Amino acid sequence: MARSVPRARQLAERLAAFRLSDVPPEVVSRAKLILLDTLGAMLAASNQKYSSTRILADFARRLGGRPGSSLIGQRLKTSCVNAALFNGRLGYYCDIEPHHVGGILHAPAVMVPTSLAVAEKENVSGRHFLQAIILGIEVTCRVSYALNPVALYKRGFHPSAICGAFGAAASAGHLFRLSAPKFAIALGLAMQQASGLLA
C-alpha cells in the first residue's frame, strides 16, 4: 500500500530541486528588472534623512556580530541576520518597490534583502542569487493566494509579512542549499513566526 506524501514534504522537495533552468526566459528578464527596481527603492530608503535609517543603523552597530553582510548605503557590515533586518526595513520603507496586485503584497521587499544578506555571507554566484529571489517571490505569491489575501487584509494582517516569511525561508534555504528535509523544517519555522498586523 503506497503512502501519501504530505504536502509539506512535496513542497520541500520541489524547493530543494528548483533551478533557474526551470524558469522561462521572460520571467528571468522580468525578475532582473524587479531586482533593480527594489534595489533602487532600498537605496532611496537608506538616506540618512530618515530617522529610522539612522536608528536601525546605530542598532546594528551596537549589536555587532560577525561582519558577513552589508547594510545598504551604510559602509558597514554586520551579521547576516542584522543585515536582513536593516535592509528589510529599507525594502518597504518608501513604499515605491514592486507590488503584486493579485497577491496584495510586496514580495521583493522581503526577498531582495533576505537574499542579499545570505548571498553575501555564503559568497554565492549572481545566478544562484537570482534563483533565490525568483523562488522566494513565487512561494510568497502562492502562499498569499492560498490564504486569500483579501481575507488577510479584512482580518488586519498584511500579506507581505505573513506570506513573506515563507518566501524568505525559501530564498534563504535555497542560498544555504538546504536538503528537502531541512527545507521542510525551515517552512515549519516560518509558519511559527509568520505575523504582520496592518496596525
Domains and CATH numbers, the chain: 23-193 (1.10.4100.10)
Q: Give the CA count within 13 Å in the CB-facing half-sphere of 106.
A: 22
Res 5: pLDDT: 60
Res 1: pLDDT: 46
Q: Give the CA count within 13 Å in the CB-facing half-sphere of 46.
A: 18
Cα dist from 77 to 16, 42, 72, whole Å: 29, 16, 9
Block mean pLDDT (10 aa), the chain, length 199: 68 93 95 95 92 90 90 92 92 85 91 96 96 96 94 90 94 96 91 75
C-alpha cell at 47: 538616506
Map grid coordinates 488577510 to a residue.
152
Res 126: pLDDT: 95
Amino acid at 41: A
Across-strand partners of 105? 100
CB 165 within 8 A of CB 194: yes
Res 97: pLDDT: 86
Q: How far apart are CA 105 and CA 85, in angstroms?
A: 18
pTM of the model: 0.90
As a three-state string, the secondary structure of 135-166 is: HHHHHHHHHHHHHCHHHHHHCCECHHHHHHHH
How many other C-beta atoms are found inside a 10 Å radius of the C-beta of residue 1?
Answer: 2
Q: How far apart are CA 125 and CA 174, in angstroms?
A: 12
Rg of the chain's alpha carbons, rounded to an integer? Answer: 17
Res 64: pLDDT: 83
Nearby residues of 192 by Cβ (< 8 Å), 6 or more positions away? none
Q: How far apart are CA 107 and CA 120, in angstroms?
A: 20
CB 122 within 8 A of CB 176: yes
Nearby residues of 6 by Cβ (< 8 Å), 6 or more positions away? none
